Amino acid sequence: MSRIEGKIALVTGANRGIGRAFVEELLAAGIDKVYATARNPETLKDLVALGQGRVVPFALDVTNPKNIKDAAELDTNISVLINNAGIASFEGLIDAKNIDRAREEMETNYFGVLNMTRSFAPVLGANGGGTIVNIASIAAHVNFPILGSYSASKAAVHSLVQGVRAELASQGTLVVGVYPGPVDTSMSEKLPMDKASPKDVVRAILKGVEAGEEEIYPDPASLELHLGLLSDPNAVQKQVAEMLPE
Ligand SMILES: NC(=O)c1ccc[n+]([C@@H]2O[C@H](COP(=O)([O-])OP(=O)(O)OC[C@H]3O[C@@H](n4cnc5c(N)ncnc54)[C@H](OP(=O)(O)O)[C@@H]3O)[C@@H](O)[C@H]2O)c1
């Protein structure tokens, strides 16, 4: 049975970038309803129009516990959670003026995902287990110094995914870690390299979800780095170490 068609999903950071592509591709894949959430729901108007009744906007800042509690009480039939919202500061660990942005990255990218997952686990459990898709990054597996503190926050997400997967196995939840390379969104505009399109990346992710995959490398760059890390992790680390903060 499909994990998407006929189901009800909630997407964080749905107003732009990869999150927006998720809403569009979930609709194309036959989702019954998708709660498109954003810090400012005004930014979701065209997605709501596109959904013709299947896209429901909701205000959700993943660093706000009250927003998260309200989101988890929205609909007892939600069975697909897409933890997509994230921020990247493009600062090094030493190069940064202070650690304020590093803390913000942890609050959004790690504690946001942790709080969302803890709040939605019982909802998904009551619906036969469901699926949690966590958008980490290939930077979860090797630190990119140009994004040093971001990489650390995504490594924390990878560890979270492993722990949550173990804890929710008994309720039948598929807990997916996604490790993209550069994707063409405003987050990556400073990266001077080829980037995958958000649409292609999301299609690859949904294909992996339907196949029940727990780890997804959804674009050519992430797959190449993944294979490199399996065969020669030190060589990959040396290669990305050349990407220093400006
Ligand atoms: N682009 C890449 O190259 C790339 C590669 C690997 C992984 N990723 C990951 O993919 C995910 C999506 O990134 P993207 O490329 O689509 O970036 P993006 O275009 O910058 O979009 C980020 C989204 O996250 C939302 N967001 C940020 N902080 C939030 C918060 N506290 N609460 C709720 N929403 C929040 C933003 O909302 P606002 O509009 O309100 O700011 C926006 O919708 C992130 O987790 C990112 O780390 C991206």
Q: How many A from CA of 239 to the centre of ligand 1?
A: 26
Pocket test for ligand 1, best of 15, 87, 115 (most atoms within 8 A of CB): 87
Quickly state the pLDDT bin for 209 (edges 50, 70, 90): very high
**246 lies in a domain?**
no
Mean per-residue pLDDT, 105-114: 98
- In a mutational test of the pocket of ligand 1, which residue from 16, 101, 107 has the highest number of ligand atoms less than 8 Å from its CB? 16
Q: Tell me how far apart the alpha carbons of residues 21 and 212 are, in angstroms, rounded to a whole number.
A: 20
Q: Indicate if the pLDDT at residue 191 is higher than 90.
A: no
- Reported as a single tens digit per residue, the pLDDT across 131-185 is 999 999 999 999 999 999 999 999 999 999 999 999 999 999 999 999 999 999 9
Which domain, by its residues, includes 62? 8-240
With a pLDDT cut of 70, the percent of the chain lying above it is 100
Looking at the chain, the whole-number percentage of residues with pLDDT higher than 90 is 96
Report pLDDT for 245. Answer: 86
Q: What are the φ/ψ torsions at residue 120 (nearest 5 degrees)?
A: -90, -15
Residue 50 lies in a domain: yes
Distance CA 79, CA 38 (A): 19
Q: Pocket residues for ligand 1 (CB within 6 Å)?
A: 12-13, 15-19, 38-40, 60-63, 84-88, 108, 112, 135, 137, 180, 182-183, 185-188
Q: Is residue 152 part of a domain?
A: yes
Residues with catalytic annotation?
A: 150
Plot region of 210 (φ>0 → left; ψ -120 to 50 → alpha; else → beta) = alpha
pLDDT of 243 reads 87
What pLDDT, in 10s, does the model give residues 122-136? 999 999 999 999 999
At 109, list the tokens: 């990218």
In this model, does residue 246 exceed pLDDT 90?
A: no
| Total structural domains within the chain | 1
Q: What is the CATH number of the domain that holds 38?
A: 3.40.50.720
In a domain, 1, yes or no: no
Q: Is residue 2 part of a domain?
A: no
Contact 86, 108 (CB under 8 A): yes
Question: Mean pLDDT across the chain, nearest whole number?
Answer: 97
Distance 98 CA to ligand 1 centre (A): 22
59: in domain: yes
Tell me, yes or no, whether 245 lies in a domain.
Answer: no
- State residue 157's pLDDT score: 99
Burial degree of 165 (CB within 10 A; 0-12, 13-18, 19+): middle
Query: Residue 214: which pLDDT band, with cuts at 50, 70 and 90?
Result: very high
Whether residue 156 is contained in a domain is answered as yes
